[in-house]
Amino acid sequence: MKKFFAALIYLVITLLLLMSLAIYLVLSAQPQVEQTQPISAQSAKKSQQLARRIVATLKQENSIKSITTKQHEIDGLTALFHRAFPQAHLAVTLSEQGASADASLALPLLGFIRYLNVHAFILPSNQGLQLSQVHIGDISLDGELFLSIVTWLTDRIIQPQLVEKVLKMITAIEINQKQMTTHLALGAVSMDQNGQNSLLLKLRDDLALFGDVNVIRFYYQSLSDFAEQQGEPSSIATFIAYLFELAATRQSISEQYMAVNENQAALMALVIYFGADRFETLVGDIIIREKQQLALRNRMRHQVTLQGRVDLQKHFIYSIALQLFSTHSASDAMGEFKEFLDTNAGGSGFSFADLQADRAGTRLAMIVTKSELNAIRAQKLLSQVTDDQLLPSINGLQEGLTEQSFEQQFSHANSAQYKRTLKEIDNRLRSSPVYQLGWE
């Protein structure tokens, strides 16, 4: 027995030493790359152009598609990525030899092991995706071995053959110092084994990442019935009050109904009803397709207001959705992205009022799903919420700023003046009882 315990202790010590060595080799005190380019009107425009080109390409009927990404578009995407995920820094540089990708992730650890640095080099190829050496900290892996490890982990943690199917789509990659072109063959791998659902839809249904589809459907149907009873469109506060009164009732009648889950399902139903149809694609089959219901939903989406404005309602709803589907940093970043797009020619201009509605929606979704105690408190407040409590006064917030006027007053999104304005917006939100529950 003593030999057994001695061997066990030896094994534990050995494993701890190996783990310590791995951490020392993988993590670093300094980032290997730092993001310096802030999100701007031009970077937002470039990212939008790229997104539109990708969507147009994917909509083409032929199964063989090619997507070209230029260096300045990649730079715009990395600026947006960093704004959405401030703890992550990313840089991609194109050359005749290939694409060099460097990433640094700040971790909540001690200073000498704070950063995870990763470097990979994508090679031009006529035979799918090919990587040269991949460096994770001081550990170097062969590109094929790295892809094999990723495939093995994904097969066991997420879904079998997921990475294999994605890699099979990539037939060739052309790279030079100006652009990278990825050639895709989608036809052969777009269907699952039964040939009935797309790969992404199957993954959605298997993981149920955004809640129980049956509970979300219940709230959606209840909301649809309530909208029909309303007749004329009103404030979004009316619909939120109804949903959270319903959530509070369900949560009180049975211990199986957790307030956090009920609140998330209620908000998910809200954004599917008032938002874009594509939100449903991420969740499951929710929308009632009956003609009269669709007509009513369409009217409500375009006439229900927040602070008397439909545009503020839309900003609020879409930011709730972004928070539910991602993170608050990503939601805030997309709100800013939209405003910077509006500073370009033909846009309505940068609006801090819109930005306040964005941040209100993001923070509301954070608060009601933060903890069980917060969720219950939020139900009580939101079941009687008013317009002014959802979105405090927007008086004095500048709107309609062009790219030139924004740069003259604020310079860029990292300037002290811009940050002060964001702080003022958050202070306005904190004046409302709902947001006093805290979102940090």
CA distance 329 to 175: 32
Kindly state the helix (H) or strand (E) to which residue 223 belongs, with its residue range: helix 213-230
CA distance 319 to 236: 14
- Cα distance from N-terminal residue to C-terminal residue, the chain: 52
- Length in residues, the chain: 440
> Strand (E) positions, 12-114?
27-28, 64-70, 88-95, 98-106
Look at residue 216 in the predicted model and tell me its pLDDT: 93
394-411 burial code (b ≥16 CB/10 A, e <16): beebbeebbbeebeeebe
Look at residue 198 in the predicted model and tell me its pLDDT: 54
Q: Token match 């990979």: residue?
A: 120
Look at residue 438 in the predicted model and tell me its pLDDT: 83
Look at residue 435 in the predicted model and tell me its pLDDT: 94
Look at residue 298 in the predicted model and tell me its pLDDT: 92
Look at residue 192 in the predicted model and tell me its pLDDT: 44
Look at residue 195 in the predicted model and tell me its pLDDT: 42
Q: Which two tokens stand for residue 29?
A: 């005190």
Q: Token match 């799903």: residue?
A: 369
Q: Are 32 and 73 in contact (CB under 8 A)?
A: no
Look at residue 2 in the predicted model and tell me its pLDDT: 62
What are the respective helix, strand and coil percentages of the chain, to the nearest 5?
Answer: 55, 15, 30
User: Between 291-303 and 259-274, two packed helices, what is the crossing angle to 10 degrees?
Assistant: 90
What one-character DSSP code corresponds to residue 330? H
CA distance 195 to 390: 45
Beta strand pairing status for 98-106 and 88-95? antiparallel
User: Between 259-274 and 310-325, two packed helices, what is the crossing angle to 10 degrees?
Assistant: 130
- Listing DSSP states for 247-308 in one string gives HHHHHHH-TTS-HHHHHHHHHHHHHHHHS-THHHHHH-S-----HHHHHHHHHHHHH-BBTT
Look at residue 315 in the predicted model and tell me its pLDDT: 95
The pTM for the full model equals: 0.75
Q: For the chain, which residues score pLDDT lower than 50?
A: 188, 190-197, 203-204, 206-208
Q: Which two tokens stand for residue 27?
A: 């993590």
Look at residue 395 in the predicted model and tell me its pLDDT: 95
Rounded alpha-carbon distances, angstroms, from residue 149 to 134, 145, 164, 226, 248: 12, 6, 12, 51, 46
